[in-house]
Structure 1
Amino acid sequence: YTLFSEIKEEYLGWNVYAAPKYSVEPITWSFPVAGRVVYRGYFSKEGALKFAKQIEEEGNDVYVSPISAYSTLGWYNDPVLSSHLRLNEIRLAGLIIHELAHQQLYVKGDSRFNESFAVTVERAGVLRWLKSTGRDDQIGMAEKMWEQQDAANSKMLDARSRLNELYHSGIDSALMEQKKDFLLKEFTGEIGRPRFGEMNNAYFVPVNTYYSMVPKFQSMLDSLGGDFKKFYRETEVLEASPPAPKPQ
């Protein structure tokens, strides 16, 4: 992130997330470098919406949201984009640290592990950056922002869990559809309408991907006294160990 690139659009691109009609587990796509991931990216919104419509017509839930940044995983010198300059210092620093974290450790085919790991590194890295650059007055601002994020994320993850319970209840599809609609209306009232698109199963894919493992990684980092080198070694060991069953 030593280069700068001007882009004409407000966003770098658009991601398509999808999930079956009666499941909160994401539909995934496979790519050569990244492996299997829970999103499919497009530079144009039109391209994303066209693909989303195709997936939706197959009977799935879809959610389309903007892409703010990306990482080529160290293959290229990724630039700071003109769209990033709209962010405040805390968010911009967090974005850069998050993407650099993917260069430190990336598990091919495990989006949830990768993004939750990067969020953990992002937050800890921002705090150290603020302290090392004499911005101690902004530490409280950052912590308050994350506290608000976590409160919202907790509601969304709880909503996702309630949907998952419904889909595993064994009731017939007609009643399940009614209960799904009822829950989504209830969640919309509690959480608020999505900024992009409608609330459905796919809407919960990003929050589960980016935040569901953060408490686990944060606990690990804290137990190591905040030592990043030890943390990276431990996460590499965790990544190499046999995968545990994913919580529904």
Structure 2
Amino acid sequence: MRILVVTAVAAEADAVLGGAGSRRIALPGRPRPGYGLRRQGRLDVLAAGVGPAAAAAGTATALTAADITGRPYGLVVSAGIGGGFAEVAPVGSVVVAESIAAADLGAETPDGFLPVTALGFGTDAHRPPEGLARAVARATGAVYGPVLTVSTVTGTAGHAAALAERHPGAAAEAMEGFGVAEAAAAHGVPVLEIRAVSNPVGPRDRAAWRIPDALAALTAAFAALPDPLPGASPDVPPALRPDPEEEA
């Protein structure tokens, strides 16, 4: 079973691959420097770009290309670094998504924010397979909780508090998960999200971010995934770790 891991940028893809060898795989469309698909055994890692639109487009392209070649993916994983809600997921921790929610997709009203579902359109959240997600959280020592997708990174205490109020128990925010999940859902493929926390959600203080530490935590999380993966149901691939014996 093949797994597609989608990150925003190459540094996150490098962290997922853990420094091991990989080879580049061509995808349809015009290649962009610093982005693209790399294969390591059964694991394909795509740096798709920043934000939910780029993530959805890249994920859909990779899933479609795999279907056309007769080698479809059995699981999609949105992975990378992100902000953590400090009381739930401190800097340096790893979060596995209980749900993947579009936190700013909707409308502002005099009475507050209305999610897109309240407007009668689509969905504002996807839920990964619970047994698999919990198993990944246990294996990696991760926090298990909601991960929010935003198009604008939170930069004030007030906005952080508003998000926490609208999404009780929220563990982290990032910019790609919902886009990845939308594309996966359109193809009928289950999805996970794994985030390593580089900074607290709240007032923006770039000097306090711990990006190298978060990337190291992301590498450790993928290295910790057992093979086979406990808790995987028959319709979900049994492992996430690359198999060097599998033919490319």
TM-score, normalised by the number of residues in structure 2: 0.29
Q: Which has the higher strand share?
A: 2
Using CA pairs under 8 Å that are at least 6 residues apart, name the structure with larger relative contact order, 1 or 2: 2
Q: Which has the larger radius of gyration?
A: 1
